Amino acid sequence: MDSQLVCSEVIAKSGIAFGTSGARGLVKDFTADVNAAFALAFVSAIENECTFDIVAIAIDNRPSSYAIAQACAEALKQHKLNVVYYGVIPTPALAYKAMQDNIPCIMVTGSHIPFDRNGLKFYRPDGEITKADEQAILNSKALFTSLPEPLAELTLDIAACESYTQRYTSLFSKDTLKGKKIGIYEHSSAGRDIYKVLFEQLGAEVICLGRSDEFVPIDTEAVSEEDKQRALDWSSKYRFDAIFSTDGDGDRPLIADERGNWLRGDILGLLCSQLLNIEAIATPVSCNTAIEKSASFKQVKRTKIGSPYVIAEFAKLAEQYTSVAGFEANGGYLLGSDVFFNGKLINSLPTRDALLPALILLAQPGHISEFLTKLPQRFTVSDRIKNFPRESSLEIIDALKKNAHSFLSELGYDESYELNLIDGLRIMLASGDVVHLRPSGNAPELRCYAECDTTERALLLVQNTLRIILSKRL
């Protein structure tokens, strides 16, 4: 008889850990047995609370993702569960279909993190796993047998793709986007084969751009200078009304206005929430304060960064308010309750989605830039130091907490301030300027956010902050 492996022991030795959204690690560490351990630990963690005999799986376009999915599927079959494989689709498409079918699912994706890494996102039948579920997965004593080679090929089912598309074609009319010219920056997004068809079904003229056979780690929260210039060039050439894109797994939107300027994700979330008449918002502490200053919502609850923290607030807010939603600085929009839009019901989808905020905004008459001018003029800029170990980030932040005054003096500030320690270190100055430092939960990076009354001032604040930190590290 083959020897039995313990899930928690295999996971503990893997070097793979949970971040702000799912388990992430180096591709080389996602061995077949590690993938099996995570898949079995997941179903074991929830099977006492949920009844199911099927688990859905989908992947992004990373070359390593299919093999990870194969291993997860093989392990689940060993556990006497059936598996439905939906292929390369956006994470919200998988989550939506699984929730409709009341089954759990696993998304194989590293989202926006570097090419040599990948990850796993887990969903219960009722939505994303909680932080408590994460601990249960890490502590699972479930047993499994080392997987055989070669692993079985997976049979593709297109039902999730169709269901996700239908969610939006049923909400909007066929001429919703008529007269609009939209560029779709496809790169290697998991949803790139969905978006063109959907936008055309809604009446738009679509031009596809930048499709890549190699995986491109697009970070919607820290858009590269190259992608900023691409959008400006494309808008100048094609005279677009907008450019639409997403991160690698299609749960974070990236939208440029008619001039080719990319919108910040939290600003897109704010606009979408206003247009949907949302009453109460849950959003991370890093998001723009224009949310409160707009006076558009009855309550705004600030959370730690990461969709599990946003989702955790929905139940509390739903006790007081009819319509509840959340969004992050990266643009991912989470619909925490059913809402009506133009007389039609939009079912809740409490996981990050790229399409809803994009389509709600694009469905409006006029230019996107016109909506921006009506918001409180607060501007956020963010950047990161790559290949910066989490331990180094925590040491830097701890030192700055203890001596924030000296740090601010180096930045040229001599005024009163407040510290917010919900997630990392957020310094709010009397002048209204804000600087926020935190280690990434998904990659070895130190992230820096700055908010000011002009983009130029915020950019300078980010640049100076990271310069000072790098000088201290050296």
So which residues are the catalytic ones? 111
Would you tell me the crossing angle of helices 159-169 and 355-362 to the nearest 10 degrees?
30
**Strand ranges (E), 232-343:** 242-246, 253-256, 280-284, 299-303, 324-327, 333-335, 339-341
Q: Is 2 left (phi over 0), alpha (psi -120 to 50) or beta?
A: beta
DSSP for 274-294, written as a single string: HHTT-SEEEEETTS-THHHHT
Cβ–Cβ under 8 Å, residues 40 and 140: yes
Reduced to 3 states, what is the DSSP secondary structure of residue 266?
Answer: helix
- Which residue type is seen at 271? L
Token look-up 């079995």 returns 40
CA angle 352, 101, 251 (to 5 degrees): 15
Among 283, 251, 260, which Cα is nearest to 183's?
A: 260
Residue type (1 letter), 297: F
Instruction: Report the DSSP pairing between strands 344-346 and 324-327.
Output: unpaired
Instruction: Report yes or no: 122 and 104 within 8 Å, Cβ to Cβ.
Output: yes
Please tell me whether the peptide bond between 90 and the residue prior to it is cis, using omega within 30 degrees of 0. Answer: no
Rounded to whole angstroms, what are the CA distances from 27 to 23, 236, 368, 421? 12, 39, 39, 33
* Site of tokens 């994700």: 265
Residue linked to tokens 């070895």: 444
Dihedral, 289, 295, 299, 304 alpha carbons, nearest 10: -10
Whether the bond into 389 is cis, omega within 30 of 0 = no
- DSSP lists the bridge partners of residue 43 as none
Q: Do the beta carbons of residue 195 and residue 250 sit within 8 Å?
A: no
CB 223 within 8 A of CB 330: no
The total of other beta-carbon atoms located within 10 Å of residue 427's CB is: 22
